[in-house]
Structure 1
């Protein structure tokens, strides 16, 4: 505790904080705001002594002498509810116990003690409204059975709620009753902590004790005491035995063990008898009267083993002392053989400690976790295991199933970013990770915030990442791939998406070569220029000298001619489809953020210091800005997996993608998981459930297959829980059945019969996975058994809390990043930007809508130019009744009506002509 403090009296108060004090020693600390008005800081021997209550709960610090006589201090939970919640709680709270206690805990008038005094008064007013207390003068009289009444009301209400959820009846318990069932979960109520016991036919709620936590999912039993407690009786865990129905092969194995036992005894007797023979011969100096040796070995004579008994019979009178010594040696063989026989019998009759008939699933041991390298000092944080951090520093990828608000941010993302030494790309939807980790990471590297909805964001222009030359077409096609699939949901493209893809490839290349605004917003403005029709725009693409003396770029000219070769209606549909993919970049903020490049892809891994890129997207703009984020990640992934040799000398890159299915299907990313680890790229993917992944990538995706490490929290999805349960495997357990027998009039049953049988059981059932305690998690690593671990919390570790620093201010970079296009000289502009040169002056149609020609080929003959109808609804035009007779007029009107109907229907297969 703090200097000059002693724990002679228990300290009761509100828990302010607790956590790890010394990682090497495993000690912990707790800070308690005491009722005495002081704040107490105490060091505890380990984290178990710190308890598992949340800050704000009521705790008591007690000192005691353990079994070894060592003075220890532990933190006991008195209520999981804070003071404010206890005032109106429906159960028997800590305030109620203080109010009726004969010797309540002393409390000061100031500080937390003053808060408790005020809370006691407000709680009394609440109980008076419920008829459980009355005001008599200055004193409050409480009901004599206050605690029992409140606790019974709360348990009944909670039991009724759980009964509705589980479909099983709730059974009340009373003093002296026998309680038994499978321990399913712990409930933190106002009246204390309670355990849910499920016996298959119903469930009970009984007071919880710490000893129960080791038996989660197992059968427990006990007797309820009159004071509300339980006298638990935990059966001693037995080893898994052999099945009583042995197969023929097992019977043969037992016979071999029996013969081995007989042979072992025989060899021991033979060896000691032979030793006695040689001992006596040596003591008698190998006299000739002993007879001829059986054989010689290394010059030493060996006699037959039973010769000792012949010599003893014939020569005992000459050397009785020597033969007594030999008898001792021979007799020792009998003692040793008996001991060996007994030991072998016990070994043969033992229960097997490990049975694997139905499966061998089990939890990993500490030495296995350590051998797998998961307790090292480096890598991303996975959780806690026996007071140590679980960390993974290999090149393999990781996947986590964690529902919303389950602690994945404070337990996985933030600790990993505060400990990862390399570069990182963080998908940060709400900007929480930027606020918590950017300040620390800015100390040893560069941090960038890319928010397309924030004008102060670091800018990035995807088009400037296109490399001029032999790579330009490939880079632009990759950009167009993402543009035409903004949601990542296309299995295959239709006609309009294919043709708009070709148009976008040509337009992007043209903008890079010939336009000043080399951005996606510039592409949108180029294709929708209000000063000229699309035919003139396409003509400019075909006639601009992109390559200088070599003339137009062949890919650009081909894309323009391909669109010009289509009919007006089809050309309009292709243009409309392409423009729909560029609508995001008409937003002036998005256009400004994508106008320049404050950083390049190679800077992330190739800079002098690591770079961290935070992709921050407000939740309200996730769907709208998804295409840009998908484009950015696709460019980074493709660029950094082009050259295997380039990974030397550059920083490792961590893709920390929280809620990654929200980005839609990234085909390249899914396939790249299989090989991107070889390029120094490591992915940490976090999803809420298996359904979320399958919605984005389909049921037969390879995301899970390529993730070496998988972390699962308590999930809310049955399919995810079933998948995790199957991955954990099946264990073989021994099921014991006890039968008591005796005379029916006997006061006791004198015979007990126990039968054991092997049964298959999942290591954790789907229901148990969905009911994991809030502090538990499951870590599955390929090659070792699964790990039952605890969740990490950065705010419980002082070392992590010290690294929470304010994020740096957003500012524009001082140096402009170089690229292949900004300094490129623009080709000369076409003066009038005609659609295409005309073959003869007789055609005045400047739109060239009826011509069909290919780049660099001679012009085709134009079709007859027809004047469009000025007003298709003026059926008579300039004709009058005097011009034609009635029959001719009707014929003309019929033709005009057919033309109007034809333009309205646009059915090209109706056999009519306009």
Structure 2
């Protein structure tokens, strides 16, 4: 309950009327006196002007004072000045009134600047410095939330905070939340979407500091597959999962030299004792259980191999199978709990088989479509390293024909997207001559400034499970890095999960939310409605996700079938006191009666009609506040982003001295060594056939000329929206480095 009291019955009209009359009288009398004083001097009129404005008016009326021409000039001048002031003031208040919305008055009964002090700019910087965050000078280490309507303070989430946003369609979530967060990020960025707008706005900007990866298997942005991410290679790799990374955090491991898994089979190719194929360090039994425990177990080297595989391959295979099972196609395929569970278990076995045989991911769909073909079972049993998985796979093949058919049909529907050949180039190497780079999650996590755009949409053959598995692989790599760095990323990573319920059906997300925040993963889960979250994670899962987030933001638009959510939010905001009253006239005189009553601060009708450029921010342990959001095109990066996307010269204020020098030389057509060195302030030329094309604006004219770069307008993979493409003779490419 807010104890501030509003008295709407107070009658101030009479006071304002009397004040206006008195002010006008003083203004007229004072103006006349000043005009006469100055005008008489200008007109050489010899008369004594009294100091009292009332006497001036009286003597002008009686004719004792003469109004000379000079007084008219002075009065006209002051009148014009007064008119300008009045017009300016009127325009100011009109503009302020136009910016004001019907919910702004409620802000004064909600949280204050004192309540939000932990989210101030100063607090965000202090917190980041206290935990050793590496952030650039002149930046605020956090995500900008908006300016408080009541109090005017700018609010920022800190680098350890996570958030859940609910913004209805066309309510400004992309322009006011997702894009500004990406533009202000100074670490790696992972963002998901079912539209191309975020990519088009931020891609060139992010390419200035790091490499940009765009995973677009459903042609949401018509991107060409310039790289591929092989989930089977991820299963086979020595990359730690979040679980094994957490286990590693509990033990102390000492190494003299780093161990290298060159062929990607999960084993170090040269063991310390000279034998080949020792288990890779990140998945060894010692890593998972601790070296002392391994010694006490008395495990042989072969047994350690088996244990490491189970701790690595099986865990990642089950994660991948689970994402297919809970995907949109998986939901549509569910018949009973039995067939759903058996289908997921079958997929796990087939994924392990593909990893053992080094087969591409689409092979799983072919195996699931042929229950009579026991090739997968033969491969796994002949390998001999996974006897339990092989036994489970044999049990599925040995079911009665009807049961087996249903299990395989369920699994086949779960991986339905793999039957589309347009997806294959994104998840596998297409030939022995395929020179495209394979995405390495560990290298991405170590980059500090790379960006990953994951695009998908709900449709036939949705790539949602691949996007989710991709997201999990990257998050596992970042958590593993955080563990190696002492428990927290020195440069926080931003996960802007736009359209999360449609694109990233990550059912473990509610359980991981608060923990990932403490690791330096700034999670932003953005939904269109509360019911959308319930459809993805269930009622309890959505409540858990909402409760685990440090910051909960409502941007409007969630009114369809969500009355319960809106009512709960109105209740959480609370009530305040108002004075109500009545006026009655009796024979004995006028009687005014007042009483205090409780009023809902933000009724449901006000929340349902939520205006644009406003957001309700709820922070754990504090009263809610209303903030005014800032779209990216009105923010500090607007000029620079527009210049980069259009290929126009960068704003002078944004250029470093070296860049300004390079621009000066470029205008004069110079390409000598000094100008080139000055221009390559943040651009590096590398001879690489696997680097993707980058926008032309990342390289200046003298740099392009000197290095042989040229613009190829016929390239069908060139970025849209006015972005050009840079290519180089002999497959050289431009790559920006942080």
For residues 262-273 of structure 1, the aligned pairs below 5 Å read: none
Match of 2:607 among 753, 758, 769: 769
Q: Aligned partners of 1:534 and 1:639: how far apart in 2?
A: 38
Residues 446 and 428 of structure 1, relative CA distance in 2, 3 Å threshold: same
Task: Encode CA deviations 1:444-498: one digit per residue, 9 max, x unaligned.
Answer: 1221111113442532111111143341111111111222222375999722233
**Partner in structure 2 of residue 801 of structure 1:** 639
Larger-gyration structure (1/2): 1
The answer to whether 1:451 aligns with 2:216 is: yes
Q: Aligned partners of 1:812 and 1:378: how far apart in 2?
A: 35
- Three-state SS of the structure 2 residue aligned to 1:588 is coil
The answer to whether 1:653 aligns with 2:653 is: no
* Deviation at residue 537 of structure 1 after TM alignment: 1.8
Match of 2:567 among 718, 722, 726: 722
Match of 1:485 among 320, 326, 330: 326
**Partner in structure 1 of residue 440 of structure 2:** 600
Q: Aligned partners of 2:425 and 2:103: how far apart in 1?
A: 57
Q: Which consecutive unaligned segments of at least 5 residues does structure 2 have? A: 1-78, 125-139, 238-265, 267-308, 430-436, 648-685, 692-738
The answer to whether 1:690 aligns with 2:523 is: no
Residues 714 and 593 of structure 1, relative CA distance in 2, 3 Å threshold: closer
Contact between 1:655 and 1:681, CA under 8 Å: does it hold in 2? yes
For residues 345-744 of structure 1, the aligned pairs below 5 Å read: 362-373=109-120, 377-385=140-148, 389-454=154-219, 455-466=224-235, 467=237, 468=266, 469=309, 470-487=311-328, 494-515=337-358, 518-528=359-369, 534-537=372-375, 540-541=378-379, 543-544=381-382, 546=383, 551=384, 553-596=386-429, 598-607=438-447, 609-617=448-456, 619=457, 621=459, 624-641=462-479, 645-648=483-486, 651-663=491-503, 665-701=505-541, 702-717=544-559, 718-742=563-587
Higher helix share: 2
Task: Encode CA deviations 1:364-394: one digit per residue, 9 max, x unaligned.
Answer: 3334434532576332122233666432224
**Partner in structure 1 of residue 656 of structure 2:** none
* Deviation at residue 764 of structure 1 after TM alignment: 1.0
**Partner in structure 2 of residue 130 of structure 1:** none
- Three-state SS of the structure 1 residue aligned to 2:317 is helix
Q: Aligned partners of 2:508 and 2:317: how far apart in 1?
A: 15
Residues 472 and 64 of structure 1, relative CA distance in 2, 3 Å threshold: farther
Task: Encode CA deviations 1:411-445: one digit per residue, 9 max, x unaligned.
Answer: 11111111111111111211111110111111112
* Deviation at residue 777 of structure 1 after TM alignment: 2.5
Q: Aligned partners of 2:377 and 2:173: how far apart in 1?
A: 55
- Three-state SS of the structure 2 residue aligned to 1:685 is strand
- Three-state SS of the structure 1 residue aligned to 2:110 is coil
Q: Aligned partners of 2:587 and 2:390: how far apart in 1?
A: 101
Q: Aligned partners of 2:410 and 2:646: how far apart in 1?
A: 41
Contact between 1:690 and 1:719, CA under 8 Å: does it hold in 2? no
Contact between 2:218 and 2:462, CA under 8 Å: does it hold in 1? no
Task: Encode CA deviations 1:559-593: one digit per residue, 9 max, x unaligned.
Answer: 34213432233333322322222321121121111
For residues 189-228 of structure 1, the aligned pairs below 5 Å read: 216=102
- Three-state SS of the structure 1 residue aligned to 2:580 is strand
TM-score under structure 2 length normalisation: 0.56
Contact between 1:439 and 1:807, CA under 8 Å: does it hold in 2? no
Q: Which consecutive unaligned segments of at least 5 residues does structure 1 have? A: 1-62, 79-207, 220-236, 238-359, 744-749, 817-914
Q: Aligned partners of 1:761 and 1:507: how far apart in 2?
A: 61
Q: Aligned partners of 2:459 and 2:636: how far apart in 1?
A: 36
Residues 674 and 213 of structure 1, relative CA distance in 2, 3 Å threshold: closer
- Three-state SS of the structure 1 residue aligned to 2:109 is coil
For residues 26-37 of structure 1, the aligned pairs below 5 Å read: none
* Deviation at residue 503 of structure 1 after TM alignment: 2.6
- Return 757-766 or 638-647, whichever deviates more: 638-647
Residues 693 and 582 of structure 1, relative CA distance in 2, 3 Å threshold: closer
Q: Aligned partners of 2:408 and 2:558: how far apart in 1?
A: 45
Q: Aligned partners of 1:812 and 1:642: how far apart in 2?
A: 31
| Equivalent residues, number | 465
Q: Aligned partners of 2:118 and 2:415: how far apart in 1?
A: 52
Give me the CA root mean square deviation: 3.9
TM-score under structure 1 length normalisation: 0.46
